[in-house]
Amino acid sequence: MKLRATAPGKMILLGEYAVLEGAPAVVAAVNRFAGCEFREHGQPFYRVSASVLSKDSVRFTISDDFRVIFSNDVSAADREALRFFSGAMEAVLHTRPGGSPQLPLGAFSLDTTDFYDPALRRKFGFGSSAALVSALTGLLHRLMGAEADSSDALFPEAFRVHKQVQGGAGSGADVAAAIYGGILRFQKRNDRPEPQVQPLRLPQQLHMTVVWSGTSASTTALVEAVQGLRANKPAQYAQLLEEMSCLSAAGIEALNRGDTGAFCDAVRAYHAHMEMLGQAAGVEIVSRPHRELAALANKFGAAYKPSGAGGGDVGIAFSDDPRALTALQKAWQKAGFYPLAVEITGQGLKITENEVV
């Protein structure tokens, strides 16, 4: 038996930082996919292979208390590289319903190369870990004979598993994109542990383009700085986040009305508030490259903002004029930036099964 699961990456279109305080956000699944494959074999152990490992594959077993036990020859670096894999395996197996089938022996193959650009030798912040954990969660449920593996059934489990592996960090919007695909309204809620997820649609006349800023950023460091502002200047933090929450909600309402102008206005205002938040926290959420990218976007009438935590990585521009975005891409390239062939995908988690020949 051979099973393969794939799940897409994500981009935050609106609502960064505010989503952590309960604001609604817009997240989209993008055409970068993590893959997880399983092939059953007759050997008395498991194997896992991945391009990030120092060897072709490593062996492991699963203890009676559902711990992943790597063989003694697996290096510390390879164990760290497999942290999300082993953590997700353990989190899923620990909650396996009583009486469900045991996990068959076999070999796992992990693939996140779609999140790397070989020309730039860079990994982009499209949520590869969430996509991989979501794919693995779906694959394990299928292997153990889960009765329901629909998106609605798998999202709470994948959300819980990823949150546990991440140590509670992050909103989980990347998991929602990985499971459901498409464009989503995502919001934390108080009455249930998993967030509320609802489908959204971009108006037909609204177009977007994605660009690499030329620098990487540490999401953890940026979020920690913002949390420091929350602790040290709570009133200033609360005011900024309330305004950002209102802007994100207004952008979602504009999408629902099909009002591209109002949505672009919300994007521009959100960009400005991300810059103000960074200044207040003492970090560059809107870095110099993002300011340059935004200035060029403004010349072509497009609305621009960083996507995600900022500081570097990728940005996104919106316009109702596709020709303006084409001209903007050329201007970005001339200025030394790197437009990316990233598109929104409607495909979420997908699991296929084949007999091993």
* pLDDT at 328 (0 to 100): 98
Q: Which among 150, 145, 138, 148 has a CA at the least distance from the CA of 88?
A: 138
* pLDDT at 122 (0 to 100): 83
Q: Is the pLDDT of residue 70 over 80?
A: yes
**Residues 124, 32 share a domain:** yes
Count of domains forming the chain: 2
**Residues 172, 32 share a domain:** yes
**Residues 103, 55 share a domain:** yes
Q: Which among 63, 111, 54, 71 has a CA at the least distance from the CA of 89?
A: 63
CATH value at residue 230: 3.30.70.890
**Residues 243, 170 share a domain:** no
Q: Is the pLDDT of residue 98 over 70?
A: no
**Residues 189, 275 share a domain:** no
Other beta carbons within 10 Å of 81: 18
Q: Is the pLDDT of residue 217 over 90?
A: no
* pLDDT at 100 (0 to 100): 53
Q: How confident is the model at residue 283 (pLDDT cuts 50, 70, 90)?
A: very high
Alpha carbon distance 34, 5 (integer Å): 8
**Residues 89, 65 share a domain:** yes
Enter the tokens of residue 259: 């009002």
Low-confidence winner among 74-78, 268-272, 311-315 (lowest mean pLDDT):
311-315
**Residue 97 gets which letter from DSSP?**
P
CA dihedral 277, 279, 282, 285 (to 10 degrees): 60
* pLDDT at 218 (0 to 100): 86
| Beta strand 303-306 pairing with 106-111 | unpaired
CATH value at residue 21: 3.30.230.10
Question: How far, CA to CA in Å, does 197 sit from each of 60, 73, 132, 203, 204?
Answer: 36, 43, 20, 19, 22
Enter the tokens of residue 114: 């779609």
Contact in structure between 127 and 179 (CB atoms under 8 Å): no
Q: 112: domain range?
A: 2-202+345-354
Q: Is the pLDDT of residue 208 over 60?
A: yes
**Residues 296, 314 share a domain:** yes
Mean per-residue pLDDT for 316-339? Answer: 97
**Residues 192, 212 share a domain:** no
**Residues 222, 167 share a domain:** no
Q: How confident is the model at residue 357 (pLDDT cuts 50, 70, 90)?
A: very low
* pLDDT at 148 (0 to 100): 59
**Residues 211, 173 share a domain:** no
**Residues 126, 25 share a domain:** yes
* pLDDT at 73 (0 to 100): 94
pLDDT in tens, 85-94: 999 999 998 8
DSSP letter for each residue of 213-265: -SS---HHHHHHHHHHHHHH-HHHHHHHHHHHHHHHHHHHHHHHHT-HHHHHH
Q: Which among 227, 355, 314 has a CA at the least distance from the CA of 30?
A: 314
Mean per-residue pLDDT for 137-143? Answer: 92
pLDDT in tens, 30-54: 999 999 999 999 899 999 999 999 9
* pLDDT at 147 (0 to 100): 60
**Residues 266, 134 share a domain:** no
| Beta strand 122-123 pairing with 116-117 | antiparallel
Average pLDDT over the chain, rounded to an integer: 93
